[in-house]
Amino acid sequence: MVGTAEPVTAGILVIGDEILSGRTKDKNIGYIAEYLTGLGIELREVRVVSDVEEEIVAALNALRARFTYVFTTGGIGPTHDDITADAVAKAFGVGIDVDPRARAMLLEYIKPEDLNEARLRMARIPAGAELVANPVSKAPGFWIGNVIVMAGVPTIMQAMLDEVAPKLRTGVKVLSETVRADAREGDIGGPLRLIAQAHPDVTIGSYPFMGEDGRPNSNLVVRSRDAGKLAEAVAAVRAMVETVRRP
Amino acid sequence: MVGTAEPVTAGILVIGDEILSGRTKDKNIGYIAEYLTGLGIELREVRVVSDVEEEIVAALNALRARFTYVFTTGGIGPTHDDITADAVAKAFGVGIDVDPRARAMLLEYIKPEDLNEARLRMARIPAGAELVANPVSKAPGFWIGNVIVMAGVPTIMQAMLDEVAPKLRTGVKVLSETVRADAREGDIGGPLRLIAQAHPDVTIGSYPFMGEDGRPNSNLVVRSRDAGKLAEAVAAVRAMVETVRRP
């Protein structure tokens, strides 16, 4: 992992009808988002699409053209609705076939007599891709161009992310500090805007929540790649908050 | 609410840096997805974008051109990073100003002397939009064209969704039935594909999970708008599962 001054960016493509129907609640977006932030990689966009090849191809091509990396989740199992590998091959305009390395990985987990046509689908890998090991259940993900294709099952996806992380180019980590307002957003919105304008190299977000005292409150999150500029902006936010904070 | 034979479709646009940084874990996508499915509205795509006007405008225009409805969440509070209303006005090419109806709603909750410039931002509504009442904290959402703009705070978003639901055009509800395989996906993938091919008016998804007995398992979800065709496909799936089910 090498940190560079250039921002390193990413998109996530979640693939699966079960997420769009609401039957399965996605747990991968938040996990990957936090993971990438920790690596200094900026997640810029997420898309969720259905198990329809043309939708997957269009979304993948849109995202991979714009970001350093695209991480996909879902659709790499053995059943007929698992079409991610074929869609990725189509997006890249390359062939796809059973990969001997992937087949060998499956045979670490599956008896040769059980390696039927359905399971062999999990060894279909687009030409030119590197495999991403799956320490949980062996069927691998893969990495082609700037696209990393992972399982949808959270435990497997997380293990795959750990596999690829050491090979990712990473950026300068964004530092952040949170100041609890103990005030309502509407009372700090004016002065906070002035602070944001006076500190163009930091971003300041205001995230309202309902306090344990039953009163509206807000967390002010200050972010920057520059520790000195972060500290200056945080000091300004703290001073402002002192003037409006309620007893 | 009137059910029609034409499919009614939707997209969701989640707006907010805090989701992309992983600081806040989205709870709205799954909720809206399940809610729309219950209404017979098909959620086709979700996008998450940052608090950057051109990103919001581009994503909103892409989604609103393709789906019956687009639901947005986030970015309608009183602070400088709340730019959704302005971005929506820009996407539609209409003006935006303080709306007297929205101002009156704010005054049900806020004392006139507290209605400062920051809070008045929450009354800025694109020209031609209808307001969406906010029974929780009064600051309204709005509905313009086929786009429904809601708060990001889940309790408020949910209340707004209840407000708009009776006015939405809805489709024929998708019926679904789940058959638990008690088998590994790789053992049912082949026969399941044949069943899916023989029943083109249903969709069949296989969703693997780790069983309470520690063995890989899968839920087979059969979906259709036609009760008769659903029942036929479910019967075929049940019969198939009986032949491969493990003891």
pLDDT one-digit tens code per residue, B41-79: 999 999 999 999 999 999 999 999 999 999 999 999 999
Contact A37 B22 (CB under 8 A): yes
d(CA A73, CA A150): 5
Nearest beta carbon to residue B34 from set A22, A176, A186: A22
| Tens digits of residue pLDDT in B95-153 | 999 999 999 999 998 999 999 999 999 999 999 999 999 999 899 999 999 999 999 99
Distance from CA of A91 to the nearest CA of B (A): 18
Q: Contacts of residue B42 in chain A, CB cutoff 8 Å?
A: 20
Hey, are the CB atoms on A33 and B21 less than 8 Å from each other? yes
Q: Measured between alpha carbons, how far is A202 from A204 in angstroms, rounded to an integer?
A: 7
Q: What is the largest CA-CA distance in chain A?
A: 73
By Cβ distance, the residue of B82, B174, B189 closest to A118 is B189
Q: Of 3.40.50.720, 3.30.70.270, 3.40.190.10, 3.40.980.10, which CATH number belongs to B3-171?
A: 3.40.980.10
CA distance B207 to chain A (A): 8
pLDDT given for residue B89 in this prediction: 98
List the single best residue of B39, B46, B83, B122 to mutate versus A (max A Cβ within 10 A).
B46
**Which whole number is the average pLDDT over B182-192?**
94
Query: Residue B97 corresponds to which amino acid?
Result: D
Mean pLDDT of chain B: 94
Q: What is the mean pLDDT of each run of 10 residues along chain A (247 residues)?
A: 72 97 96 96 98 98 98 96 97 98 94 94 97 94 98 96 96 92 93 96 91 89 95 97 82
> Is A124 strand, coil or helix?
strand
> CATH 3.30.70.600 residue ranges in chain B?
175-244
Q: DSSP alpha helices (H): ranges in chain B?
A: 17-20, 28-39, 53-66, 84-92, 100-107, 117-120, 154-164, 185-198, 227-244
Rounded-to-integer distance, Cα A72 and Cα A16, Å = 11
Fold of A175-244: Alpha-Beta Plaits (3.30.70)
Confidence of residue B171 (pLDDT cuts 50, 70, 90): confident
Strand partners, B45: A49, B11
The pairing of beta strand B41-49 with beta strand B8-15 = parallel
Q: What whole-number distance in Å separates Cα of residue A48 and Cα of residue A59?
A: 9
Query: Cβ separation of A207 and B23 shorter than 8 Å?
Result: yes
- Indicate yes or no: CB of B22 within 8 angstroms of CB of A44: no
Ranges in chain A annotated CATH 3.40.980.10 = 3-171
β-sheet bridge partners, residue A207: A219
What ipTM, to 2 d.p.?
Answer: 0.93
Among all residues of chain A, which has the CA nearest to that of B79? A189
**What pLDDT shows up at residue B215?**
87
B9 bridge partner residues: B42
